[in-house]
Amino acid sequence: MKDKLTRKDERILSELDKNSRQTDSQIAKKIGLSKQVVNYRINNLLKKKIITDFYTTLDIAKLGFNSYYVFLQLEKIDKQKEEELIKQLETLDFVGWLITGVGRWDVCVLLFADTMQRFDSQLSQITNLCGDNLYDYNFTILVSSEHISYKFVTPKDYSKVRQEERKEKIILDKTDIAILKQIAPNARISLTEIQKKAKIPIHTSAYRIKSLEKQEIILGYKPKLDVAKLGYQWHLLLLKFQNISEQRKKEFIYFCENHKNIYYITQTIGLYNLMLDIHVKTSDEFRNMIQVLRDKFSDVIKIYESIFVFKEHKISYFPEELLK
């Protein structure tokens, strides 16, 4: 059964989407509700599992890592065995994102690696886990990405979080790493909880978090929504470009940034040049959207494929390699 958001829920989600680390009091003041109402409604959204998590977006590149998207096509695998495989992939500390769906590819995973040798080792671990059930695989390397707000709750005043390929590494000390480990999978964790779990004084955590934000290692704080519960389908559209000018490419990306259904834009090198995360209400809407893209940019799009995303199993921007 689909859940329908009230106007109050939409306003709360919009604020959480801009910055999930805002307190209930801060959100309440901005949207003209009481702190108690905001707290109740956030907890209700969590209870209904419309919000499944709050996570912190980190600039992986500044930590010395590149991002690799690996696509897996499986064969001769039943439901139980596939679920076991997904659980194994989810526990791998170098996997930052994991989805399953229907299309040419059954699984997509995001890996963080500081060297090509390390990526090669990670890729081998994944293919070995799949064993005889792996029919085909391929990968792309992230060049840049734009994480745009959920436009169905923030249609106009939406924000963007941008990431790029690896750059000069910023060295973090043990305190920074300990804080990032706590805050990466739980953006709304309190300073008191960080003190309990990481044994770091509250004033130290508060200062270090502000410093990590200023250095743009922490890029933002986001809610993870189960869009299916709100009546939306999630499609991952994978595009290969024609031989086009840089200007024409920019025009296409600008169009995508401002399209009401596009939530995430990832530029890559490899099998695909661009990945678009799309939210639509029906398959017809998705098909019509593809037709619009093809009509407007027939000179840009060479090949396209899509994954109908069933489930997002994991999202974490904290590379466990920092702990080693």
Contact in structure between 57 and 147 (CB atoms under 8 Å): yes
d(CA 279, CA 230): 11
SS3 252: helix
- Residue 323 tokens read as 């702990």
- Residue 127 tokens read as 């293919």
CATH number for the domain that contains residue 137: 3.30.70.3460
Q: Is residue 102 part of a domain?
A: yes
CATH number for the domain that contains residue 34: 1.10.10.10
Tell me the residue range of the domain where 17 lies.
Answer: 1-48
Q: Is residue 297 part of a domain?
A: yes
Where residue 206 falls (left for φ over 0; alpha for ψ -120 to 50; beta otherwise) is alpha
The reply to whether 32 and 80 lie within a common domain is no
The reply to whether 107 and 26 lie within a common domain is no
pTM of the model: 0.92
Residues 6+ apart with CB under 8 A from 32: none
Contact in structure between 189 and 182 (CB atoms under 8 Å): yes
For residue 77, give Cα distances in angstroms to 38, 106, 125, 176: 45, 11, 19, 42
Q: Which residues of the chain have pLDDT under 50?
A: none
Ordered DSSP codes for 83-121: HHHHHHHHH-TTEEEEEEEEES-SEEEEEEESSHHHHHH
Count structural domains, the chain: 2
pLDDT at residue 164 in the model: 65
The reply to whether 86 and 136 lie within a common domain is yes
